[in-house]
Amino acid sequence: MNLEFRLRQVWTIARLELRRVFFSKRSFWVYLLALFPTVIFVGHAIDVKIQERRSAGDRAVSAALIDSITKGDTADEITARLGPPARDFEWKSGRRGERGRRHMVYSDGKRRADLDFEANILASKHVHTFVDFDESRTIFAGVFDYFYLRLAIFFGCLGIFMNLFRGEMLDKTLHFWFLAPARREVLLAGKYLAGLVAAVIIFGGGAMLAFAAMLWPHDPAEIKAYLQGPGLGHAISYAGAAALGCLGYGSVFLASGLLLRNPIIPAVVLLLWEGINGFLPEILQKLSVIYYVQALCPVPPPTDPNMPALLKLLISPPTPPSVWLAVLGLLGVTALVLWAASRAVKRLEINYGTD
């Protein structure tokens, strides 16, 4: 049996397993996890579109007129210049209503101007776009880091890769594979490849869909400029980070499924390990997946300026590795874990609890 034959076997096993991984009832919640941010971003995009359409109606004013509003203008002067506002709220306080407050909203179709009046004089003017490109990118970076990497890919890989062996043990079907004329390492590689392809398509695809949904409500010219600039690179980086996350977590959960009966234990241990990564000595930080994958994210996730320093340390590695070091490091960690898994699968016995 030469290497080419074994590689063909790996691919055959992976192809046979892919159908099971994609269409298993156990995988259903994995799709929900992967697509949840897309649903949120699409919902937000629809809301922005509705707001834009509403404000672009017959009460829209020119951008120059909005810019001409200055503090100290009276409400009457502004309405005389700009016409009636899109929204107008008025409150009166005091016994005779002598202390009046007013809030008016104007829009040029892309921006919204919120004007606050006190005693009929403009006290504050706040102009903002319906959707801010930089803000959207930062939000996406946060969603990718906190949701995809730390939650969806972690638990999704737990569901997919744990089931590759443990699920078949529970279904009493693992002997089907063990009776094939293939080395156990070949079987492991085939199953891992199937899980990896499925996880990358589900989570890489999910992240890309969310990325597209994030871009959708923005001005086409802005999107074009972004994609011609760093945008495409960002998309590739996110997809690559998702794929490497699946690669790393997948190998860990595949090995856990072979070594342990209860998936909760390794999941909790790994979740804690990945969570306290920032506190660990540098050498131990390198033995986690999040350390490498975070380094591949092109936009840093947003942090609350009032966040305690301890929490800040937890969510971002103090000394992120370079991209190449991150990729090579993760491949190294994965190879190490898969080697341990191959040792375990060679010892694995079929014992469904009879005779």
Partner 1 sequence: MSVPEIIFDEVSKFYGEVLGVNRVSLRIPPGITSLVGPNGSGKTTLMNLMTGLVHPDRGRITVRGLSPRDPEQMMRVTGYATQYDAAPRGTTGFDFVSTGLLVYGYKPAEARERAWTALERVSLTDAAQRKVAAYSKGMRQRVRLAQALAHDPEVLVLDEPLNGLDPLVRAETIALFREYAAQGRHVILSSHVLQEVDVISDQVILIANGMILAEGEIRSVRDEIQEHPSQFLIRCRDASSVASMLFSQDHITQIKLADDRLGLLVMTRNREEFSKALTQIALGGHSIESVIAADENVDALYEYLIGGGR
128 binding partner 1? (CB under 8 A): no
Q: What minimum distance in Å lies between the beta carbon of 163 and partner 1?
A: 11
When asked if residue 23 is in the footprint of partner 1 (CB under 8 A), the reply is yes
| Minimum distance of partner 1 from residue 182's CB (angstroms) | 6
> Closest separation between CB of residue 19 and partner 1, Å?
8
Q: Which of 18, 24, 114, 273 binds partner 1 (CB under 8 A)?
A: 24
- Rounded Cα gap, residues 198 and 22, in angstroms: 7
Distance, CA of 141 to CA of 124 (rounded, Å): 32
| Backbone dihedral angles phi then psi of residue 92, each to the nearest 5 degrees | -125, 135
CA distance 49 to 150: 31
5 binds partner 1 (CB under 8 A): yes
Window of 84-92, 140-148, 178-186, 252-260 that interacts with partner 1 by CB under 8 A = 178-186
**CA distances to 71, 77, 231, 238 from 122, in Å:** 5, 10, 40, 45
7 binds partner 1 (CB under 8 A): no
Q: Which is nearer to partner 1, 86 or 194 (CB)?
A: 194
Minimum distance from residue 334 beta carbon to partner 1 (Å):
24
x-or-dash pattern for partner 1, window 290-329, by CB under 8 A? ----------------------------------------
What is the Cα–Cα distance from 343 to 249, expressed in whole angstroms? 18
Q: Is 89 helix (H, G, I), strand (E, B) or coil?
A: strand
Choosing from 31, 175, 262, 307, the residue that interacts with partner 1 (CB under 8 A) is: 175
Q: How many residues bind partner 1 (CB under 8 A)?
A: 32
Largest CA distance in the chain: 97
Q: Which of 47, 90, 171, 282 binds partner 1 (CB under 8 A)?
A: 171
* Residue 110 interacts with partner 1 (CB under 8 A): yes or no: no
User: Of the listed pieces 46-54, 219-227, 231-239, 345-353, which binds partner 1 according to CB under 8 A?
Assistant: 345-353
With residue 192 as reference, give the H or E element that holds it. Answer: helix 184-199
Based on the shown chain and the rule CB under 8 A, indicate whether residue 2 belongs to the binding site for partner 1: no
Per the structure block, which two tokens stand in for 272? Answer: 């804690």
8 in contact with partner 1 (CB under 8 A) = yes
CB of 355 to partner 1, least distance (A): 4
CB of 16 to partner 1, least distance (A): 5
> Do the bridges between strand 99-107 and strand 87-93 make them parallel or antiparallel, or are there none, so unpaired?
antiparallel
Question: Nearest approach, Cβ of 168 to partner 1 (angstroms)?
Answer: 8
Q: State how far the Cα of 276 lies from the Cα of 200, in Å rounded to an integer.
A: 26
Residue 183 phi/psi, 5-degree rounding, is: -65, 150
Among 7, 16, 39, 265, binds partner 1 (CB under 8 A): 16
Q: Report CA-CA distances (Å) from 105 to 126, 193, 221.
A: 10, 56, 26
* Residue pair 142/301 in contact by the 8 Å Cβ criterion: yes
Kindly indicate which of the ranges 121-129, 191-199, 200-208, 346-354 contains the residues binding partner 1, using the contact rule CB under 8 A.
346-354
Question: If binding is defined by CB under 8 A, does position 28 make contact with partner 1?
Answer: no
CA–CA separation, 318 and 144 (whole Å):
19
Q: Minimal distance in Å, beta carbon 203 to partner 1?
A: 23
The string over 188-227, giving b where at least 16 C-beta atoms fall within 10 Å of a residue's C-beta and e elsewhere, is: bbbbbbbbbbbbbbbbbebbbbbbebbbbbbeeeebeebe
Rounded Cα distance between 259 and 65, Å, is 69
Q: What are phi and psi of 203, to 5 degrees?
A: -85, -40
Binding residues for partner 1, per CB under 8 A? 1, 5, 8-9, 12-13, 16, 19-20, 23-24, 168, 171-173, 175-176, 178-184, 186, 347, 349-352, 354-355
